[in-house]
């Protein structure tokens, strides 16, 4: 073909950028991976059977070594990256004595002589700097000065980039190696070069075979459901069971009646034969009987998509204005969600409330991080629509959509009171507030945008529905307890003028915005370094997380000051 195929997906990671023979300066872009294959989209589980086996990351935690973690108390060296080692030596990046140790281990492995890691000294995340004897690790792991419960957890806790000292033994022979904890990702957000293609999935179960009989999870990766809404009979009865989840892998495939709900409080109990699932070998022979699930419901006939109806903006300029406001809303809700998250107690939580409070805090932080991805996605769409020099959208909305008179409310960082959580639920409710704004943007992109732009906005809307559901869960968890049990205070205030902890938080926030502005201006891949630096600046004691925690621990509300810089100044709704 004489003309390059159009790009159908926006590349989201380094694996989606390929260099080859092409008409545009020798660079050819190819379609990126779907969102479900990105590392951060994977289920945080370390058993085979999911998108990736996260245990494989720790196989390469130390420079130039690959290890196997056997059981809870054995770390065995299985290979040495000899080419990488030779490159480091020739580049003057490794002392000769250290290289000799690596070479001895490599020679012994080639001769089937085994080396084990017997001791690790390093910074183990929240457990601090420790020297661990691997053979002594065991449960329980609780209380002050506790040790990690097993070898894998110990390696997992090692702080990225910090110095690690290993003691390795073969029989009575002992050697020591010192190096920095390896990074999993490069500056572009892709897996580091030390990982071989397919390495993260090499221990997964194989779909449509009975390998999953020995899997540590259940049957499916996360894009195969365990439960779903039942197929609708014709005509559909007006009963609650129509909108109640059922067992997707059920053995009874009868379509004439609605399956029983997939609930633990089923009147017939767990022994109800109607809840029986296909057994292992039935999956192999009868998988085709399982129904497709679209929009959360099983379908047994041709899919009929609903009609998407939303008012288009009159002009492209109006679309751009509303996209910039949408970015401002994303930043504004991040402020509100972080204030709520850090208002929850971190210590001295009544035992009956502890799990609910810990879960609520974690989910609030997760949603805030998701909104950061939305901020980038909106800027990606704006960048693609902009003719000429692009100015990133990093101004914080002063008002966000709200139910009731006027349709907007002032942005108000506050504690996670019942009213605040209800406001968050209302804001994220599908097809009403924020979702309604994106509905209009999506409808206009049908006219003024490309397929990848529309897909980006659809992804934001889909995640917004997840946020709505999660806030509903948070409301349920916290409503079981008195606010005094889970809040640091219901009337928290921002620190007074001149407060050093508040000033540190504001400076780190400003630095973050500067990095994002630079990275978004350059775009991907040129801006990847700045965006990665900004992402890292959010985490750890030296990042925004540490500064926010310090403010909260002092008894104040975590809030961000308005910035006069026109690039970051407040923005109101159009």
What does the pLDDT look like over 143-183, one tens digit per residue?
A: 777 889 999 999 999 999 999 999 999 999 999 999 999 99
Q: How far is CA 113 from CA 79, 105, 110, 442, in A?
A: 11, 9, 7, 62
Distance (Å, whole) CA 130 – CA 143: 15
SS3 571: strand
Distance (Å, whole) CA 60 – CA 184: 9
Report the pLDDT value the prediction gives residue 205, as an integer from 0 to 100.
Answer: 59
Q: Which residues contact 85 (CB under 8 A, 6 or more apart)?
A: 64, 94, 99, 102, 103, 106
Report the pLDDT value the prediction gives residue 156, as an integer from 0 to 100.
Answer: 93
Distance (Å, whole) CA 143 – CA 427: 40
Q: How far is CA 564 from CA 87, 311, 375, in A?
A: 49, 34, 20
Report the pLDDT value the prediction gives residue 74, as an integer from 0 to 100.
Answer: 94
The angle, 0 to 180 degrees and rounded to 10, between the axes of the packed helices 418-428 and 316-343 is 150
Q: Which residue has the higher pLDDT, 485 or 432?
A: 485
Average pLDDT value for residue range 38-64 = 68
Query: Which has the closest alpha carbon to 178: 303, 60, 64, 331?
Result: 64
Distance (Å, whole) CA 418 – CA 487: 11
Average pLDDT value for residue range 31-44 = 50
How much of the chain exceeds pLDDT 90, in percent?
44
Q: Which residue has the higher pLDDT, 412 or 203?
A: 412
Q: Which residue has the higher pLDDT, 211 or 560?
A: 560
Q: What is the mean pLDDT of the chain?
A: 83
- Phi, psi values for residue 216, rounded to 5°: -80, -10
Query: Which has the closest alpha carbon to 414: 356, 486, 482, 491?
Result: 491
Distance (Å, whole) CA 230 – CA 240: 11
Task: Report the alpha-carbon angle 472-475-478, nearest 5.
Answer: 150
Is pLDDT at 415 greater than 50 in this prediction?
yes
**Two tokens at 69?**
């973690």
Average pLDDT value for residue range 295-320 = 83
Average pLDDT value for residue range 358-383 = 93
Report the pLDDT value the prediction gives residue 474, as an integer from 0 to 100.
Answer: 92
Is pLDDT at 10 greater than 80 in this prediction?
no
How much of the chain exceeds pLDDT 70, in percent?
83
């Amino acid at each position: 073909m004489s003309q390059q195929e159009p790009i159908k997906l926006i590349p989201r990671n380094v694996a989606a950028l390929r260099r080859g023979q092409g008409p545009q300066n020798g660079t050819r872009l190819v379609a990126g991976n779907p969102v479900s294959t990105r590392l951060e989209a994977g289920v945080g589980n370390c058993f085979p059977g999911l998108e990736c086996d996260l245990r494989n990351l720790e196989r390469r935690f130390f420079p130039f070594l690959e290890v196997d973690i056997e059981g809870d108390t054995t770390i065995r060296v299985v290979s040495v990256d000899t080419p990488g080692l030779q490159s480091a030596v020739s580049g003057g990046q490794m002392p000769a004595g250290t290289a000799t140790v690596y070479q001895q281990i490599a020679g012994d492995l080639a001769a089937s002589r085994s080396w084990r890691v017997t001791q690790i000294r390093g910074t183990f995340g929240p457990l601090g700097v420790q020297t661990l004897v691997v053979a002594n690790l065991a449960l329980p792991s609780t209380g002050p000065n506790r040790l990690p419960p097993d070898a894998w957890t110990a390696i997992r806790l090692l702080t990225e980039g910090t110095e690690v000292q290993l003691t390795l033994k073969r029989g009575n022979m002992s050697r020591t190696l010192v190096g920095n904890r390896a990074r999993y990702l490069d500056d572009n957000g892709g897996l580091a070069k030390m990982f071989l293609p397919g390495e993260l999935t090499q221990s997964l179960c194989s779909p449509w075979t009975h390998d999953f009989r020995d899997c540590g999870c259940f049957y499916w990766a996360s894009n195969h459901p365990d439960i779903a809404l039942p197929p609708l009979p014709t005509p559909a009865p007006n009963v609650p069971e129509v909108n109640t989840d059922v067992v997707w892998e059920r053995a009874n495939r009868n379509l004439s009646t609605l399956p029983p709900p997939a609930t633990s409080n089923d009147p017939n109990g767990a022994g109800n034969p109607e809840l029986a699932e296909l057994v292992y070998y039935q999956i192999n022979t009868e998988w085709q009987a399982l129904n497709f699930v679209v929009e959360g419901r099983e379908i047994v006939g041709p899919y009929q998509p609903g009609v998407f109806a939303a008012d288009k903006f009159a002009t492209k300029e109006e679309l751009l204005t509303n996209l910039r406001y949408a970015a401002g809303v994303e930043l504004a809700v991040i402020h509100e969600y972080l204030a709520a998250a850090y208002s929850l107690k971190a210590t001295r939580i009544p035992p009956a409330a502890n799990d609910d409070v810990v879960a609520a805090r974690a989910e609030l932080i997760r949603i805030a991080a998701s909104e950061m991805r939305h901020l980038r996605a909106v800027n990606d769409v704006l960048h693609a629509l902009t003719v000429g020099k692009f100015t990133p959208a990093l101004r914080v909305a002063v008002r966000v959509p709200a139910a009731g008179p006027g349709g907007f409310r002032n942005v108000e960082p506050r504690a996670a009171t019942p009213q605040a959580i209800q406001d968050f639920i209302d804001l994220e409710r599908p097809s009403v507030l924020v979702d309604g704004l994106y509905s209009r943007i999506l409808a206009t992109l049908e006219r003024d945008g490309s397929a990848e732009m529309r897909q980006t906005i659809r992804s934001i809307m889909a995640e917004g529905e997840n946020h709505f559901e999660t806030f509903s869960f948070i409301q349920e968890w916290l409503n079981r307890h008195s606010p005094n049990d889970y809040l640091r205070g219901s009337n928290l205030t921002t620190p007074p003028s001149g407060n050093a902890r508040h000033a540190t938080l504001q400076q780190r926030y400003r630095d973050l915005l500067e990095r994002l502005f630079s990275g978004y201006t350059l775009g991907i891949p040129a801006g990847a370094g700045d965006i990665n630096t900004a992402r890292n600046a959010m985490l750890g004691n030296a990042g925004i997380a540490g500064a926010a925690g310090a403010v909260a621990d002092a008894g104040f509300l975590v809030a961000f000051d308005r910035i006069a810089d026109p690039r970051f100044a407040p923005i109101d709704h159009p």
